[in-house]
């Protein structure tokens, strides 16, 4: 099976059907990440089939819980996952990628250009600082994050960005539900509630993933997020 079919079949098994042009764009994204990997240290996965399953399909699963409209911010986007993958699949969305490492942000903006994507950009900031800026606070419909921090810490980084009624989609490994147990207080203190959890198996390796969907109920209290040292020292 060629790589395009491998990707499309894996996505289909995961409940996502895509046209050939989107599959080509996802493969082009992989090509860029693997090409730039040495310079920017983006991923440990260099085998293409493994990349397709563990990065592309793993990130693409987020679109099952997101409508193709509105504004989304991806925290700690790194190589562009899941933010760039969501943009390729949901092209009507307006997407902001955030990373605290400036050289990754430069790579992200170059990658956006090379993929000819519109209404998406990357900015350099720490989540817990940027969400105190009124231009960003409570202004997104969705926030996503993958492989950035434990859920109790991550909920404080992410949920101040979303409007009431907005959703935080946490893409977690197989221990996401354990992290959730330790995050109940954080979710409540940050004016949110747990909406759903989904146990997913990746289509080829069967590896388990937990997708956790948290909804914002009302505006975040002004005191959150706290400073980074405080969040790390005493997570909610």
Ligand X SMILES: C[S@@+](CC[C@H](N)C(=O)[O-])C[C@H]1O[C@@H](n2cnc3c(N)ncnc32)[C@H](O)[C@@H]1O
3-state class (DSSP) for residue 165? strand
10, 30, 128, 214: residue in contact with ligand X (rule CB under 6 A): 128
Residue 76 marked in a binding site: yes
Number of residues near ligand X (by CB under 6 A):
18
Stretch touching ligand X by CB under 6 A, among 65-73, 85-93, 99-107, 133-141: 99-107
Select the residue interacting with ligand X from 126, 137, 198, 226 (CB under 6 A).
Answer: 126
In the bound complex, what is the minimum distance in angstroms from residue 79's beta carbon to ligand X?
A: 5
CA distances to 15, 113, 224 from 71, in Å? 23, 20, 21
**Of positions 104, 167, 209, 216, contacts ligand X by CB under 6 A:** 104
Nearest distance from C-beta of residue 15 to ligand X, angstroms: 21
Closest by CA position to 104, among listed 76, 74, 78, 73: 78
75 binds ligand X (CB under 6 A): yes
**78 within 8 A of 104, measured Cβ to Cβ:** yes
Among 10, 78, 166, 235, binds ligand X (CB under 6 A): 78
User: 199: part of which helix (H) or strand (E)?
Assistant: strand 192-201
Verify cis geometry, omega within 30 degrees of 0, for the bond prior to 82.
Answer: yes
Checking DSSP bridges between strand 140-146 and strand 120-124, what pairing results, if any? unpaired
Task: Report the residue number, 100 or 191, with the smaller CB distance to ligand X.
Answer: 100
Dihedral angle over CA of 88, 90, 96, 101, nearest 10 = -40
167 lines the binding site for ligand X (CB under 6 A): no
Q: Measured between alpha carbons, how far is 233 from 236 in angstroms, rounded to an integer?
A: 10
Can you tell me which of 77, 90, 111, 159 binds ligand X, judged by CB under 6 A? 77
In which order are the strands placed within the sheet that holds 71-75? Answer: 120-124, 94-99, 71-75, 140-146, 162-172, 208-216, 192-201
Q: Does 159 bind ligand X (CB under 6 A)?
A: no
Q: Is 5 annotated as a binding residue?
A: no
Measured between alpha carbons, how far is 187 from 190 in angstroms, rounded to an integer?
5
Residue 1 or 147 having the CB closest to ligand X: 147
Q: Which is nearer to ligand X, 165 or 173 (CB)?
A: 173
- To the nearest whole angstrom, how small is the minimum distance from the Cβ of residue 130 to ligand X? 8
Q: Residue positions in the annotated binding site for S-adenosyl-L-methionine? A: 76, 81, 127-128, 146
The binding site consists of 76, 81, 127-128, 146
């Amino acid at each position: 099976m060629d790589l395009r079919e491998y990707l499309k079949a894996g996505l289909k098994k995961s409940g996502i059907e895509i046209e050939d042009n989107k599959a080509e764009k996802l493969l082009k994204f992989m090509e860029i990440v693997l090409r730039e990997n040495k310079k920017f240290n983006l991923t440990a996965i260099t085998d293409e089939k493994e990349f397709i399953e563990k990065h592309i399909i793993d990130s693409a699963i987020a679109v099952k819980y997101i409508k193709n409209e509105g504004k989304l911010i991806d925290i700690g986007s790194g190589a562009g996952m899941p933010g760039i993958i969501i943009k390729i699949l949901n092209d009507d969305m307006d997407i902001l990628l955030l990373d605290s490492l400036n050289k990754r942000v430069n790579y992200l903006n170059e990658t956006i250009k090379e993929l000819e994507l519109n209404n998406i950009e990357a900015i350099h900031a720490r989540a817990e600082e940027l969400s105190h800026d009124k231009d960003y606070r409570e202004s997104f419909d969705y926030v996503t994050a993958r492989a950035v921090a434990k859920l109790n810490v991550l909920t404080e980084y992410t949920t101040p960005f979303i409007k009431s009624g907005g959703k935080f989609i946490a893409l977690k490994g197989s221990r996401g539900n354990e992290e959730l147990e330790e995050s109940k207080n954080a979710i409540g203190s940050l004016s949110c509630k747990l909406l759903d959890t989904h146990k997913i198996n990746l289509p080829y390796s069967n590896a388990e993933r937990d997708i956790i969907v948290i909804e914002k109920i009302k505006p975040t209290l002004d005191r959150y997020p706290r400073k980074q040292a405080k969040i790390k020292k005493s997570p909610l």
